[in-house]
C-alpha cells in the first residue's frame, strides 16, 4: 500500500513539473543586463548569462533546447547562441556592425537585423554560425508584436490611449481590445506555445517587471518582483 501511495505521489510530482511553463527574460538584478530563466509561478530563478557585457532579447529555438540572444560583450551587439542551461555560448554573427532582433525560423535557422552594409537589412545564419548571408534587404520586421501560435490573433503594444497598453485583435488588426487597461506602461507581449497566456512587461509597481495575463484580460499574475528592471519575456517551447 505504501509503495502504491509513493508511486502515485511521484507521478503527481512528475506531471506537475511537466505542466509548469518557463520564461526567459532580461534583468538588471546583478547590475548589468543578463538573461534569466524562471518558472511561470515565479520559482526556480536561474541566471543563464554572467558577463560584464549586456545580454538582451532572448529567443527560444523551436525545439526549446537553445536560446539566441544579443550581447555587446565584444564591444558591439552581436548575435549569440547558448544551450537552455546557459552553456556552450557562441557568437554567430561576429561583426563590427550592429546586429539585432534574432528570430528563429521553423527549420532552426536565425534571422536578424544588421547595419553592416550601412543600412538595415535582414540576414540569416545557421545555428552553428555557418551560411551567414543576406536574406531580405531594406526590410525591418515589426517589433513589439506577437502572433498567436495558430496565426489567427495578434498581441501588440500601443499608446493609442496616451500610455502603453497590450491589445489583442485578429490578424488584420480589426477590433483590437485593450486587455491590460492600467495607468502604467505595459509592453512587450509574448504568447505561450498553446496560445492560452500572454507574458508582458509592466512598470506598474515602479520598475519593469514580468507579468502574465489571459487573452481575455483576466488572470493577471506578477512573475518577477524586485527593485530592478526585468524585460523581454520569452516562453520556452516544449523540449522536443
Closest CA to 155 of 182, 187, 181: 187
| Most confident range, picked from 30-34, 112-116, 145-149 | 30-34
pLDDT at 38 over 90: yes
Residues 50-96 have pLDDT tens digits of 999 999 999 999 899 999 999 999 999 999 999 999 999 999 999 89
pLDDT of residue 141: 42
Backbone φ and ψ of 12, nearest 5°: -65, -45
pLDDT at 214 over 60: yes
Distance from C-alpha of 88 to C-alpha of 188, rounded to nearest angstrom? 28
pLDDT at 167 over 80: yes
Distance from C-alpha of 2 to C-alpha of 80, rounded to nearest angstrom? 50
User: Exposed (0-12), middle (13-18) or buried (19+): which is 121, by Cβ within 10 Å?
Assistant: middle
Tell me, what DSSP letter sits at residue 31?
Answer: S
Contact partners, residue 190, CB within 8 Å, separation at least 6:
146, 155, 198, 199, 200, 233, 234, 235
Q: How far is CA 31 from the centre of its chain?
A: 20
Closest CA to 79 of 50, 58, 63: 58
Cβ–Cβ < 8 Å for 29, 46 = no
Q: Produce one character per residue of 175-201: b if its CB has 16 or more CB atoms within 10 Å, e if not.
A: ebeebbebeebbbbbbbbeeeebbbbb
Amino acid at each position: 500500500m505504501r509503495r502504491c501511495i509513493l508511486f502515485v505521489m511521484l507521478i503527481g510530482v512528475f506531471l506537475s513539473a511537466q505542466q509548469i511553463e518557463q520564461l526567459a527574460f532580461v534583468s538588471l538584478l546583478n547590475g548589468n543586463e543578463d538573461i534569466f530563466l524562471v518558472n511561470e509561478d515565479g520559482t526556480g530563478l536561474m541566471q543563464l548569462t554572467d558577463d560584464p557585457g549586456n545580454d538582451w532579447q532572448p529567443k527560444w529555438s523551436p525545439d526549446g533546447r537553445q536560446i539566441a540572444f544579443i550581447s555587446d560583450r565584444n564591444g558591439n551587439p552581436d548575435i549569440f547562441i547558448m544551450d537552455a542551461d546557459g552553456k556552450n555560448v557562441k557568437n554567430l554573427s561576429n561583426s563590427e556592425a550592429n546586429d539585432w532582433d534574432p528570430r528563429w525560423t521553423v527549420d532552426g535557422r536565425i534571422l536578424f537585423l544588421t547595419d553592416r552594409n550601412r543600412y538595415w537589412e535582414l540576414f540569416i545564419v545557421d545555428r552553428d554560425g555557418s551560411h551567414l548571408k543576406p536574406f531580405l534587404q531594406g526590410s525591418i520586421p515589426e517589433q513589439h508584436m506577437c502572433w498567436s501560435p495558430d496565426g489567427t490573433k495578434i498581441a501588440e503594444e500601443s499608446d493609442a490611449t496616451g500610455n502603453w497598453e497590450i491589445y489583442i485583435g485578429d490578424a488584420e488588426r480589426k477590433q483590437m481590445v485593450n486587455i491590460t487597461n492600467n495607468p502604467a506602461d505595459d509592453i512587450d507581449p509574448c504568447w505561450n506555445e498553446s496560445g492560452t497566456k500572454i507574458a508582458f512587461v509592466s512598470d506598474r509597481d515602479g520598475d519593469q517587471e514580468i507579468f502574465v495575463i489571459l487573452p481575455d484580460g483576466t488572470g493577471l499574475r506578477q512573475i518577477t518582483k524586485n527593485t530592478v528592471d526585468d524585460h523581454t519575456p520569452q516562453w520556452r517551447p516544449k523540449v522536443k
